[in-house]
Amino acid sequence: MTLAQRTSLNSIPAYRQGATPGAAQKAFKLSSNENPYPPLDSVIAGLSSELGTINQYPNAAAPELVGALAARLGVEPETIALGAGSVEVAGQLIHATANPGDEVVFAWRSFEAYPILAHVAGATPVMVPLDADGAHDLAAMAEAINERTALVFICNPNNPTGTVVDAAAVDAFMAKVPAHVLVVIDEAYVHFNTARDSAIGLDFFRRYPNVAVLHTFSKAYGLAGLRIGYAVAPPAVAANLRKTAVPFGVTALAQRAAVLSLEHEDELQVRIDDLVTARESLLATLREAGVTVTESQANFIWLSTGDDTEAVDAGLRAAGIWARAFAGEGIRISIGSPEANAAIATAVISALQEAPAHV
């Protein structure tokens, strides 16, 4: 007897986590855009007081965190909805806006969970190719919107290319978006974005009634293992997000760690600045060596290696650099520790020597 199953899942790929090197090899795991720094001492100390109560359910409303975020961002508490990482909130947004058969528009390549989340929700993903510079083609995305479109994702900075959309381009895009379509500006890497003309999600949220913003504590705040993210959305949308959220999905430990992180943003900013400096230094080193590399405003770099991707990735792994390869397209390499970043430059230059078209 065959158990009943949802047959449409047969065509949906499982989300692929960044590869981890084996223990036998001295290697750097730079495949998941993780913060290379350990949690702040103040965060660890504050969490210890929560351990004695993990037999109890967390407060699903998370009033302390929601209040802290509202004050920090200058928004009303009812506009904030939490989830187990921004990826879970992205899923909530699709479930809250799209009926079966509706369409979800996004750039491609972008965050690889988008098409998976859309399919799981019964929506149809509409993938609009990036432009020649690896950036969002907002004009083409506007053309892709039709009467079935429920939601649009703009990933800024874009994962995996690290490119940004400028504010003027997003304004021009919004002028073409029907009022019923929700535009979600996904800013998982916003803390690393130093581009002066970049669109800022909260600015657009305040100016347009059909804009939501996604943020996460996984990257800059270094809480990837605790899984916590949030949306800032119109109140009616945020209310529906809370309806679609997994009950008690955001743990008490995650809530407390997020509050503590907000209280110690000055310490975290030092780390963010160090990572941005390391990114710029790595990009400069590679360019000085003649490597063509995309400008990045995230905590990773992108190599457009095309058909040579698998060969270059194999060379990187042989040198101890475990990155995220997208066959036929390119390789995303997270910024890591100083030792890791020094190894990246050497490994990339060496690996590309076998693919001279990219050097």
Domains and CATH numbers, the chain: 19-39+266-358 (3.90.1150.10), 51-263 (3.40.640.10)
Distance CA 27, CA 193 (A): 28
**Mean pLDDT in the chain?**
93
Average pLDDT of the segment spanning 255-275 = 96
Does the pLDDT of residue 25 top 70, yes or no?
no
pLDDT at 358: 47
> Where residue 359 falls among pLDDT bands split at 50, 70, 90?
very low
Strands 103-108 and 149-155: parallel
Does the pLDDT of residue 199 top 70, yes or no?
yes
Name every residue whose Cβ is closer than 8 Å to that of residue 143 and which is 6 or more positions away in sequence: none
Distance CA 113, CA 166 (A): 24
Average pLDDT of the segment spanning 300-305 = 97
Distance CA 220, CA 333 (A): 16
Report the share of the chain in percent with pLDDT over 90: 87
User: 157 with 163: CB under 8 angstroms?
Assistant: yes
Does the pLDDT of residue 325 top 70, yes or no?
yes
pLDDT at 353: 86
Does the pLDDT of residue 16 top 70, yes or no?
no
Does the pLDDT of residue 207 top 70, yes or no?
yes
Average pLDDT of the segment spanning 180-187 = 98
Helix (H) / strand (E) containing 184: strand 182-186
Does the pLDDT of residue 357 top 60, yes or no?
no
E strands, 259-346, in order:
300-303, 321-322, 324-326, 330-334
User: 29 with 21: CB under 8 angstroms?
Assistant: yes
How far, in Å, are 306, 328, 331, 347 from residue 315 at the CA level? 15, 16, 12, 7
Helix (H) / strand (E) containing 151: strand 149-155
Average pLDDT of the segment spanning 298-307 = 96
Distance CA 354, CA 311 (A): 8
C-alpha angle 50-191-32 in degrees, rounded to nearest 5: 75
Of residues 187, 185, 191, the one with CA closest to residue 173: 185
Question: pTM here?
Answer: 0.93
Residue-wise pLDDT tens digits, 120-165: 999 999 999 999 999 999 999 999 999 999 999 999 999 999 999 9
pLDDT at 8: 67
Residue-wise pLDDT tens digits, 209-245: 999 999 999 999 999 999 999 999 999 999 999 999 9
Residue-wise pLDDT tens digits, 84-103: 999 999 999 999 999 999 99
pLDDT at 26: 75
C-alpha angle 217-337-303 in degrees, rounded to nearest 5: 85
C-alpha angle 101-182-137 in degrees, rounded to nearest 5: 90
Q: Which residues of 135-153 are buried (b: 16+ CB within 10 A; e: fewer)?
A: bbbbeebbebbeeebbbbb
pLDDT at 204: 98
Distance CA 262, CA 189 (A): 16
SS3 state at 132: coil
Average pLDDT of the segment spanning 171-193 = 98
Does the pLDDT of residue 4 top 90, yes or no?
no
Distance CA 34, CA 308 (A): 26
What tokens were used for 100? 């079966």
Residue-wise pLDDT tens digits, 36-91: 999 899 999 999 888 999 999 999 999 999 999 999 999 999 999 999 999 999 99
